[in-house]
Chain A
Amino acid sequence: MILSHRLGEWAGDAPVLEEEVALANIALDLLGQARVLLSMAGDEDELAFLRDERSFRNLQLVEQPNGDFAHTIARQLYFSFHQHELYTVLAAGDGPFAPLAAKAVKETAYHRDHAEQWTLRLGDGTEESRARMLTALTALWRYTGEMFRPIDGLDGVDWQALEQRWLAAVGAVLERAGLTLPEGRRTGAWAAGAGREGLHTESFGRMLAEMQHLHRSHPGASW
């Protein structure tokens, strides 16, 4: 839901018309997945609009501001490859998330392809695009460790193996783009896993303020 919101912020400002369509498309897929997940836990709107920052469990990676197009693509690259690996595992199991994962795995394959294609274009495009892509990949690298911290209630996931597959897959794309995996800490702004515990980065609160203000201004109203 949070990443969908961030992608929604691009509407009207994308570099080409085709990307208006693509980014909105991905945002819609993610919102659809979020609505199923939230509905499994309770009332989707109550959970989206009436929780405070400290009660949100999203990864710090997905709440990061859009930045330039390279930042958005780097965030998509890291996240969509992770999501695709995770949904593939969940879809193969028989847990409560298997039906959602089976549908989402098709969508995330498309998201992954989109991120990969743009990583190649930006990495192997011009000097400027390569520099911007490197900056973005490095800036967001620190938030990637959190994706592989075990989540309560998600059984049957070998998180270490997942991380290895992710490193190999993302590393292979970066190599084709003439780039390499960044180095350095991957512990996020706090200790790794902080987002899952409701510890977020500063821009997140402002994002929620914007997202929730109308809903909160009319308590109990239906829309």
Chain B
Amino acid sequence: MGTDLGAQLAAAFDAAVAADERVEPRDWMPDEYRASLVRQMAQHAHSEIIGMQPEANWITRAPSLRRKAILMAKVQDEAGHGLYLYSAAETLGTSRDELLDKLHSGKQKYSSIFNYPTLTWADVGAIGWLVDGAAITNQVPICRCSYGPYARAMVRICKEESFHQRQGFELLMALSKGTEEQHAMAQDAVDRWWWPSLMMFGPPDDESAHSAQSMAWRIKRHSNDELRRRFVDIAVPQAEALGLTLPDPDIKWNEESGHHDFGAIDWAEFWDVLKGNGPCNEERLTRRRTAHEEGAWVRDAAAAYAEKQASKASTESEARV
């Protein structure tokens, strides 16, 4: 009987996903589907908040007030995206506190890209153009993800991200067309961020542990390699428009495939950064933990205050009765 019901629920779930219907928080879903979504959404949320660090690194040094305002707004948006995504993940029965604990203890990951340092102002532009560009390529298909709350969060996030990407492009354009030193600064940033951006799409399809299942569940719509190729096709003409080169001599148009061929990615570096050995892994996580620990007394105060207010309110309502 129980098995029959379980099988019926699973069949109904599979049919709904196959029909492109949205799964909502109260719907039955396989445990593995739930776990897989929590993992992906948490990692996504963590990436937004760790991703604030490399850019916030330049807020106090932005070279004009206009650029400073744009950068502040962007970092603020990222905190907001983190909030959406934690809320969306909470609909699956976890909590922000629990997820943050897992981030702080290294049990959950964030995007490997944020383990690279922002060494010059041009890096802010390269992040906007390349990193946000790669993120958008990855994330637009998630707007049609089978899990409703995730899909809806992504619709809002993608709108803001594409705005950031245009601003990053425009920042690099100003540098590229500026003085010789500014142009060199822009080229250097693109040279350093290009390959890490390609790594954002994840391991090659034959080495991607979660891909097949995620695609069957329609959490994911396209393979890592497919999205990576799409991104290269978009980035090549944009680099030309910027008057900057991409650090890959093997990029060339392939008439037959209708796509750009490109050079081999250094997967050893990718796995190394993922394991925690990138240039900034240690520093990013330490800073996040420190902010959290040093903010504990503030959160405690807010909780104590809320408790006092609640007990005051209940005493008052009792008195009225």
> Chain A interface secondary structure, helix, strand, loop or mixed?
helix
Complex: chain B residue closest to A207, CB-CB: B60
**Which one, A25-33, A95-103, A147-155, A195-203, is touching chain B?**
A25-33
CB-based A-B contact count at 8 angstroms: 141
Report yes or no: A48 in contact with B291, Cβ–Cβ below 8 A: no
Contacts of B72 in A (CB 8 A): 8, 11, 24, 27-28, 31
**Which one, A118-126, A134-142, A180-188, is touching chain B?**
A118-126
A124 to B297, CA, bound (A): 13
How many residues from A make CB contacts under 8 Å with B? 48
Contacts of A13 in B (CB 8 A): 287, 290-291, 294
| Interfacial residues of chain B within 156-184, with CB under 8 A of chain A in the complex | 171, 174-175, 178-179, 181-182
* Mask: chain A, 180-223; 1 = CB below 8 Å from B; 0 = not: 00000000000000000000000000000011011100100111
> Chain B interface secondary structure, helix, strand, loop or mixed?
helix
Contacts of B302 in A (CB 8 A): 16, 121, 125
Asked whether B73 is an interface residue with its Cβ less than 8 Å from the other chain, the reply is: yes
**Which one, B49-57, B220-228, B240-248, B249-257, is touching chain A?**
B49-57
* Mask: chain B, 292-311; 1 = CB below 8 Å from A; 0 = not: 10111111111111001000
Asked whether A89 is an interface residue with its Cβ less than 8 Å from the other chain, the reply is: no
Asked whether B259 is an interface residue with its Cβ less than 8 Å from the other chain, the reply is: no
A218 to B183, CA, bound (A): 12
Contacts of A34 in B (CB 8 A): 65
User: Min CB distance, B80 to chain A, in Å?
Assistant: 6
* Mask: chain B, 41-78; 1 = CB below 8 Å from A; 0 = not: 00000000100110010011111111111001101100
Contact size range, B? 35 or more
Asked whether B202 is an interface residue with its Cβ less than 8 Å from the other chain, the reply is: no
* Mask: chain A, 132-169; 1 = CB below 8 Å from B; 0 = not: 10000000000000000000000000000000000000
A21 to B65, CA, bound (A): 19
Contacts of A120 in B (CB 8 A): 305
User: Min CB distance, B5 to chain A, in Å?
Assistant: 40
User: Min CB distance, B70 to chain A, in Å?
Assistant: 10
A124 to B304, CA, bound (A): 8
Report yes or no: A223 in contact with B63, Cβ–Cβ below 8 A: yes
Report yes or no: B65 in contact with A48, Cβ–Cβ below 8 A: yes
Asked whether A45 is an interface residue with its Cβ less than 8 Å from the other chain, the reply is: yes
Report yes or no: B63 in contact with A214, Cβ–Cβ below 8 A: yes
Contact A12/B75 with A45-B65, A215-B63, A218-B182 known, Cβ cut-off 8 Å = yes
Q: CB < 8 Å: which of B61, B295, B301 contacts A210? A: B61
Contact A16/B69 with A124-B305, A211-B61, A213-B61 known, Cβ cut-off 8 Å = no
**14 A-B residue pairings within 8 Å (CB atoms):** A12-B56, A14-B295, A16-B298, A20-B52, A21-B79, A24-B76, A24-B79, A28-B69, A44-B65, A121-B302, A125-B303, A214-B62, A215-B63, A221-B178
Interface positions of B (Cβ within 8 A of A): 49, 52-53, 56, 59-69, 72-73, 75-76, 79-80, 82-83, 86, 96, 121, 171, 174-175, 178-179, 181-182, 287, 290-292, 294-305, 308
19 other A-B residue contacts (CB within 8 Å) besides A12-B53, A45-B65: A11-B59, A13-B290, A13-B294, A16-B295, A17-B96, A20-B76, A24-B76, A25-B76, A31-B65, A31-B69, A44-B65, A69-B298, A124-B305, A128-B300, A132-B297, A221-B181, A223-B64, A223-B67, A223-B171
User: Shortest 9 CB-CB distances between A and B: which pairs?
Assistant: A15-B295, A125-B301, A129-B301, A24-B76, A20-B79, A11-B56, A15-B298, A121-B305, A12-B56
Interface positions of A (Cβ within 8 A of B): 1, 5, 8-9, 11-21, 24-25, 27-28, 31-32, 34-35, 38, 44-45, 48-49, 68-69, 120-122, 124-126, 128-129, 132, 210-211, 213-215, 218, 221-223
